[in-house]
Amino acid sequence: MTTADAWSSKPATALIVLADGRIIEGYGLGATGEAVGEVCFNTAMTGYQEILTDPSYAGQIITFTFPHIGNVGTNEDDIETVNAASNSGIRGAVLATDITDPVNYRATRHLDEWLKARNLIAISGIDTRALTSLIREQGVPNAVIAHSPDGSFDIEALKKQAAEWPGLEGMDLAKGVSTTQSHTWNETTWKWESGYATANPHDFKVVALDFGVKRNILRLLTDAGCDVTVLPATATAEDVLSHKPDGVFLSNGPGDPAATGEYALTTIKSIVEKGVPTFGICLGHQMLALALGGTTVKMHQGHHGANHPVFDHTTGKVEITSMNHGFAVDAESLPEDVEQTHVSLFDGSNCGLRHKTKPAFSVQYHPEASPGPRDSHYLFQRFTDMMRGQKAA
């Protein structure tokens, strides 16, 4: 595999060292040093800052298939991790071309400066098409991304580090990106010229279990009429129910759902059994499936992008969705009292479920987008309709 800049005389200042020993040379951006993770690819054409701050990418090195990353700069509004000052857990970024100067009225900082400030390593000058093809054919590889301005690397040490990293299977990463203390959320979605606003008190009290929640999820819950209290991933059923919620939201997040489920499933089972309306997405979807008796599997290459078609059996419609997951629910494992509601039109994998007798449902994709299309915003209204019906009953 060669770099996109193979004919340049510039010496390499960054490397990707795959677990099988292959080395890809390029030019370093952002922070210096090294980081190990799983290499995935994302096909979105916009929203690189939201992607780079999505906690669901913890433990991963993102290869952007779109060549122009950084051209609109960065700002303080498009950060998705709830703690704006923290790193979302992403290990690095892979770009085809160098970062150009930003051309956008909202830009406040060059992407390279922003990467440095967040201690994130990036590499440019890579043939991202070849790397993406490798992932599609052979599955997501483990690798080390390294940046040294003088081009000096301990190749053998980097190979050893990449080969010995255990990978995401069996790894609980939710604790590392979750809030450690409960807090409330009342910020609404961004509006042209006015930006974000603070919502007035609403009718529905919702507890959001934070496994790596994104800001725009919380904003859309607020827009839908919810007063949101965010609790840590390790919260017990007693912690959740002490807030007397009308509903419980299970957030997105990184890592192996089975590993996170070792402490979260008991909480989720108790909530569902008590008939509290429950809505999960991404990791939350996978853990709801586990709590209801299903199983999850590691995917060959995962789904990462903003253009994934999904069929909704409940409406008969196709929606274009934003996805970011490397594990999936095994639809064949779902018990008889749970039905599949959504399915991927790319590969037929499970993308949604609901319990037939309990008020609980979930989807695999990211209905809040950020980045991505807004086809799935209706799911937040579906959640409030469920809570309204439960209160009326």
Q: What is the DSSP string of 253-274?
A: --S-HHHHHHHHHHHHHHHHHT
Ranges under pLDDT 50 in the chain: 1-7
Residue of 285, 342, 355, 366 with catalytic role: 366
Q: Is 156 helix (H, G, I), strand (E, B) or coil?
A: helix
Q: Tell me: the pLDDT tens digits for 295-346? A: 999 999 999 999 999 999 999 999 999 999 999 999 999 999 999 999 999 9
Given the residues 40, 226, 282, 351, select the one marked as catalytic: 282
Alpha-carbon dihedral 75, 79, 84, 87, rounded to 10 degrees: -110
CB atoms within 10 A of CB 347: 12
Rounded to an integer, what distance in angstroms lies between the CA atom of residue 210 and that of residue 284?
9
Q: Does 368 qualify as catalytic in the annotation?
A: yes
Exposure b/e, 84-121, CB count within 10 A at least 16 = b: eeebbbbbbbbbbbebeebeeeebeebbbebbbebebb
Question: The tokens 């979750």 sit on which residue?
Answer: 178
Q: What is the pLDDT of residue 4?
A: 43
183 is catalytic: no
Which residue among 34, 38, 80, 368 is the active-site one? 368
Quick one: tokens of 220? Answer: 């859309």
Answer yes or no: 282 catalytic: yes
- CA dist., res. 74 & res. 70, Å (int): 8
Q: Compute how many other C-beta atoms are within 10 angstroms of the C-beta atom of residue 143.
A: 30
Residue ranges of domains in the chain, CATH in brackets: 14-164 (3.50.30.20), 174-392 (3.40.50.880)
